[in-house]
Amino acid sequence: MAGRRLTPVFTENFAANLDTIRAFLGDEAAEAFTRLLDRLIDDLVPTLSQFPQSGRLFLAQPTGSLETRRALRRLQRLLLPGDDLREFILADHLVLYLIRDRSIVFLAIKHHRQLSFDLPRFWR
């Protein structure tokens, strides 16, 4: 897939996550938030648009609990054939994205100290 540029698409959830990260970091860390945005726009989006499989497969990660395995099975049923759900670590942040057709859909971003992704919200 390298060499073929995918169109980046940002979900409302991704934008809401950025707002949450800004609040999470607080006013004292405004510079850190600006650096995050710069890295997203200048580095991550162009890189993943050209090399979308740079992130690791989300569904291939080992799971320890029965609850997690059940949630992943429900998630797999929501994906379309050919969908590729991946995660990418960007400094202190984890980015969840989906490769679908000719698009790279940015689903979520979390600071590593935040709790978890709200996966059911993506497919309501």
The single-letter code of the amino acid at 99 is I
Buried b (16+ CB within 10 A) or exposed e, 51-74: ebeebeebeeeeeeeeeeeeeeee
Q: How far apart are CA 7 and CA 102, in angstroms?
A: 6
What's the CA angle centered on 72, arms 67 and 74, to 5 degrees? 95
Tell me which long-range contacts 71-78 makes (C-beta under 8 A, separation of at least 24): 71/119, 75/119, 78/122, 78/123
Residue 34: the pLDDT is 92
Say what the pTM is: 0.83
- pLDDT in the model for residue 123: 60
The DSSP call for residue 80 is: P
Domains of the chain: 7-112 (3.30.2310.20)
Q: What is the pLDDT of residue 4?
A: 77
Mean pLDDT, 10 residues at a time, the chain of 124 residues:
81 94 84 92 96 93 85 89 94 93 95 66 60
